[in-house]
Amino acid sequence: MPYIRMAALMLAMSTLAAAGCGGSKSNSSSSASSTQTGASNAAASKSSTGTKTLTRAELIAQGDAICRRLTLQLRSPALDDNSLHTVGTTSVPEVALYRTAYNELSALTPPSTMTREWKVFVADMSKFPRELKTMGQFALAKNLNATNNVETEIGEVQRHRFAIARRNGLIECAE
């Protein structure tokens, strides 16, 4: 089961692969047209959810920071045993760590040039906590075949997510 731990670590890294922060500048002017233009620009820099659209560099910086933190959390000695019993019992804290990372990553708004792949990346990330929990349940039930099947599915989704992260410059999320 060493692959399970590695898959979990890889998933965590790739899950947290996109982010960034930054502010927007607006020019203030006494004229009404300048004010309207500034308001339009500010509105254009926000997504439909009301969050700021990040630049590519900002998305990469924030995403990699999330992935880096997740990787460090997953290296906890309590999560370091790959036996069937441990896989089942540690899946609960791992699921919580991945859900937190997913929530943070999904809250980021990528630039329009990255939107399509970002959505796929985040969707792949959302699958991991559910699959990890399922794998843990199978492991506790000592259902080795089902555990291995879920592990295979997790590996495929992870490889896909890592490829997206690499293509988009998310180094910490692609390891």
> Could you report how far apart the first and last alpha carbons of the chain are, in Å?
19
Once rounded to an integer, what is the mean pLDDT over residues 125-148? 86
Q: What are phi and psi of 137, to 5 degrees?
A: -65, -40
Per-residue pLDDT at 133: 82
pLDDT category at 50 given cuts 50, 70, 90 is low
Q: What per-residue string of b and e applies to 106-116 under the rule 16 or more CB within 10 Å gives b?
A: bebbbeeebee
pTM assigned to the model: 0.64
pLDDT at 85 over 80: no
Distance CA 66, CA 31 (A): 42
Residue with tokens 């896989």: 87
